[in-house]
Amino acid sequence: MSLLAVSNLTKNYRRTGKPVAAVDDVSFTIEPGETLALAGPSGSGKSTIARLVLRLIEPDAGRIEFEGSDFLVLRGAALRARRARLQMVFQDPLAAFNPRATVARVLDDPLRIHGIASRAERPRRIAALLERVGLAADLAPRAIHEISGGQRQRVAIARAIATKPSLIVLDEAVSALDVSVRGQILDLLLDLQRQDKIAYLFISHDLGVVRAVAHRVILLNAGRIAESGDARAVIDAPRSAIGRALVAAAPKLNRAKT
Amino acid sequence: MTGLASIRDLTVTYRRDGREVTALRNINLDVVAGERLAIIGESGSGKSTLALAVAGLLPASVRAQGHIDWFLPSNFGAKAPPSVLPDISPARGEIAPSSPRSPITRGAKGEPSEKLLISPLAGEMSGRTEGGAKDRQHFHFCPLGGRDIGFVFQDLSSSLDPVMTIGKQIAEVARTHLGLDWPQSFATAKTLLERVRLPDPDAAMRAFPHQLSGGQKQRVAIAAAIAAGPKLLIADEATSALDTIVQAEIVTLIRRLVVEDGMTLLFISHDIALAAELADRIAVFRHGALIELGTTRQVIDAPSQAYTRTLIDAHIGLDADLLLNRSGLPA
Amino acid sequence: MSPLRRFLRTPEAVAGAILLGALAAMALSASLLFPGDPQAIAGPALLPPFQDWSLPLGTDRLGRDVLAELFHGARTSLAVGLAAAAAALAIGAVVGTLAGFADGLVDEVLMRVTDAFQTVPSFLLALAFVSVVGPSLGIVVIAIALGTWTGPARVARAEVLSIRERDYVANARAIGMHPLEIAFREVLPNALPPVLAMSSVIVAAAILTEAALSFLGLGDPNRVTWGGMIAEGRTVLRTAPFLSIVPGIALVLTVLGVYLAGEGIVETTAVKRGLS
């Protein structure tokens, strides 16, 4: 049984009166512990799919089944409780946190909301989470805006894994990072996946990164699936026009082989 | 090989939360006329500060030391279409100091002038009056942002005026710097929109920025930047907010325009692969210092600095080793 | 530079702070310097100022000490001004946040209610409310707040509409935070600065409204108020103009002080926000 099964997902946006399909009849599945990448040019609907899967926005049509039950029927408290299993890491870690927050508060929220740890136990759990993502526990009292971009994204990952989710949506989660930090964050994400069997919905415009970390890839264009399959096979020999255009446009570092 | 600009001992500091932060430290860099020079570095490397300093766009609160000498002979513009290039005459240069300009920018025409520590703050101080007045005698040419230097920013939403039509924004640049009247300026603007390959230039002339896509806006920003026929085009992360396909198109456009107009290109980027595709030379910045400078092939194939090698190794290209292989697909 | 030092470097802010400080000192020291009832008879009626140094500002029509009345009146002005402004800002911020965050019907209803309040002149609203319910300090505070909360509500709503689209609000929803907690813990604190920037104008307006109500005899009858003093002095305006002028000057200086200090605080926080 698939962890996530999305079928015939459709979302229209109204722009100057006439509806425009942001996501048009998209279906896919994600297996436990798998990384599925969504790639495509801007406006292809990949971020909209992320937000639909997380129910941050509601679809116009289609079904989302998560962990074997209908995710779209959930309302109110039931939906909020279910959200523990489905988390998200945003592109810009600075924008993704309340500008007034401290690291401790950011990590305290999920533990408190989902009743994972008692008030007395939470500082210890926060320290453990920070260590899990390779940060020092004494970072907890610092304000979010005081720490570096790489540290912030580690905190975002710590927050996402705090509720022990089975699926994390990574929306361009490494795109805004410096390249030297990006490798470390990708390593961390893959380590967590191996240890906890977390599945990732990995959204990226960077085919190089997609090819390196994803098991399967879906190439999107104008809200529709253009091509899908094994990440390496698709990117090494794209069959769709958009796939070929994306591969041709990727910056290439033609190094003399050493 | 002729120099276009010579940056000497450039140090830029600013204050944040009561602390002095050095954005650039003792930068010495020669920009060769007609070359495509890429400035690469990660966040906090000072690459954008350098772009602003060269363009004379540093905010007044920032303290800059050192100087930038410009070598712009009056016949420099011969390579570019004469219709869009203003005459650079010593006479015009002499009145330039009264126009807005960077205090650290100083004209020089081969003749040695004494090295002055000029900072924006010092510029307002009484002690500088005498030295400043004397210094002005030596000005032959002072580059003027917009006319001699075109600047393309990363931020698509804030580089264009949201309530002015595209046509007027570009025409205004042409009118201001080329001394054309409005009908001529609008004609120039339309030619420019055709040159940046904007689909349907007639409609675009009357459009407002919000009606255009990200890539189209960046084409418009480039058209505005080259409207006055600048000798130097600075692109500061001009493609970073765009997706890969549009990025490749914009890079192609910049490459073509630079060749057609005989411009010098300063391409600021965090992406070493993108820089390598476009530039003749690459300068690597880290923590406000220039740590490596060489031709693209030298820097990519045989980097002298460990940090440069780290940057190159961190690039995940389409031929990179699979990170997944280390973890394997769970059963 | 610390915010306090930046504040102290703006001359108008310092002037405002001095005026406000003097007012606060008057209010706090009133019962120490002038113990007993300020409305008690202290000397001969209509004694002009600077004649008798035990009664430096003279006496009114009934022989009450004007200086004592002035000090005790400062208490009322300050208390009513601050309480009414605080109430208006609190109501406005909560209504604006709920309207902006809830969307749809709730937003529609709350904003039409706001419209309704805004179309009635705030002074008439206060006047009507006090005449119906009866004058007392608490009622005057509520009456003034009723007419002034709409401005903060509109500003808060506009700010919330922009903030709720930010990633950190989406992030809070994604971790399953309750909508009310998102509204009041994530959104409201970040929407407050522009709302608080209105506080100086609101406090100044509240002090003036209180004075106007008292002038019309709708203030708390058991308290000395500057508005009431001006009203009292009006009957003898030709023979003893000082009875109206002295509290009038106090009122002008207070409003000026509140406004200058408030602007100073807004300026300093704006600079701080601009830098970070």
**C-alpha torsion sign, points C98, C102, C106, C107:** positive
Contact A178 B323 (CB under 8 A): no
**H helix or E strand, kind and range, residue A201:** strand A199-203
Which residue of A149, A186, A211 is in closest CB contact with B43?
A: A149
Beta pairing, strands A216-221 & A35-39 = parallel
Contact C1 B18 (CB under 8 A): yes
Contact C189 A100 (CB under 8 A): yes
Report ipTM (2 d.p.).
Answer: 0.88
Q: Taking 60 as the threshold, does the pLDDT of residue A246 lie above it?
A: yes
Q: Place A50 in a pLDDT band, splitting at 50, 70 and 90.
A: very high
Q: Taking 60 as the threshold, does the pLDDT of residue C156 lie above it?
A: yes
Distance CA A25, CA B325 (A): 33
Percent of chain C with pLDDT over 70: 96
Q: A161: Cβ–Cβ under 8 A, 6 or more apart, which residues?
A: A87, A129, A132, A133, A168, A192, A196, A198
Q: Taking 70 as the threshold, does the pLDDT of residue B148 lie above it?
A: yes
Q: A225: Cβ–Cβ under 8 A, 6 or more apart, which residues?
A: A26, A27, A28, A218, A219
- State the pLDDT at residue C112: 94
- Of the listed ranges B56-60, B111-115, B224-228, C193-197, the one predicted with least confidence: B111-115
- State the pLDDT at residue C3: 65
Contact C275 B18 (CB under 8 A): no
Distance CA A256, CA A253 (A): 9
Q: Which residue of B has its CA nearest to A149?
A: B43
- The tokens describing A166, both together, are 């089975």
Q: Which residue of C has its CA nearest to A82?
A: C176
Domains of chain B (ranges plus CATH)? 3-324 (3.40.50.300)
Chains interfacing with B (3 or more CB pairs < 8 Å): A, C
Distance CA A86, CA C148 (A): 44
- State the pLDDT at residue C270: 61
With an 8 Å Cβ cutoff, the interface of chain A facing chain C consists of: 51, 54, 56, 79-84, 86-88, 90, 92, 95-100, 109-110, 113-114, 145, 159, 163
Question: At CA A233, angle to CA A232 and CA A239, rounded to 5?
Answer: 130
Q: Is any Cβ of chain B less than 8 angstroms from the Cβ of A134?
A: no
The more confidently predicted of residues A74 and B112 is: A74
Q: Tell me the per-residue pLDDT of C192-211, one tens digit each, with 9 for 90 and over.
A: 888 888 888 888 888 889 88
Q: Taking 90 as the threshold, does the pLDDT of residue B199 lie above it?
A: no
pLDDT, mean over chain B: 77
Phi, psi of A3 (to 5 degrees): -70, -45
Q: Taking 50 as the threshold, does the pLDDT of residue C246 lie above it?
A: yes
Contact B315 A208 (CB under 8 A): yes
Question: In this structure, are residues A90 and A153 in contact, taking their beta carbons and an 8 Å threshold?
Answer: no
Q: Place B160 in a pLDDT band, splitting at 50, 70 and 90.
A: confident
Q: Place A38 in a pLDDT band, splitting at 50, 70 and 90.
A: very high
Question: In this structure, are residues C64 and C42 in contact, taking their beta carbons and an 8 Å threshold?
Answer: yes
- Alpha carbon of A87: minimum distance to chain B alpha carbons (Å): 20
- State the pLDDT at residue A105: 93
Q: Report domain extents, chain A.
A: 4-249
Phi, psi of B120 (to 5 degrees): -55, -35
Domains of chain C (ranges plus CATH)? 3-275 (1.10.3720.10)
pTM for the full model? Answer: 0.80
Q: Taking 60 as the threshold, does the pLDDT of residue B90 lie above it?
A: no
Q: Tell me the per-residue pLDDT of A155-178, one tens digit each, with 9 for 90 and over.
A: 999 999 999 999 999 999 998 888
Out of 3.40.50.720, 1.10.3720.10, 3.10.620.30, 3.40.50.300, the CATH code matching A4-249 is 3.40.50.300
Which residue has 């209010």 as its token pair?
Answer: C27
Q: B184: Cβ–Cβ under 8 A, 6 or more apart, which residues?
A: B174
Q: Place B295 in a pLDDT band, splitting at 50, 70 and 90.
A: very high
